[in-house]
Amino acid sequence: LQALTRLSAHRNRLADLPATLWRLTSLRSLSIGENPLGTLPARIGELGNLTHLYIHSLGLTALPASLGELTNLHTLDLGHNA
């Protein structure tokens, strides 16, 4: 799975993100929208190869500073958060 470049886990009723997610350093696209997460872990900054991040409808009220470490991002979908 370490070579995985795209992961779509939207609408899966995830309350937390699995620890194994942070090992997927080849990810370029991550879609975790429409899950009841409420917060985005600071570890999101560890996924430095991300070019597309879809975190819509998570109930977010704040973003971790580490989001700024994702310097390769071309697409960031934050829609429908608190």
Q: 42-76: per-residue pLDDT in tens? A: 999 999 999 999 999 999 999 999 999 999 999 99
| Confidence at residue 23, expressed as pLDDT on a 0 to 100 scale | 95
Q: Give pTM, 2 decimals.
A: 0.95
Q: Does position 2 have pLDDT exceeding 90, yes or no?
A: no
Percent of the chain with pLDDT over 90: 96
Position with higher pLDDT, 68 vs 82: 68
pLDDT at 82: 84
CB 27 within 8 A of CB 48: no
- What is the phi-psi region of residue 65: left when phi exceeds 0, alpha when psi lies from -120 to 50, beta otherwise? alpha
Which residue in 39, 41, 32 sits closest to 12, CA to CA? 32
pLDDT of residue 1: 83
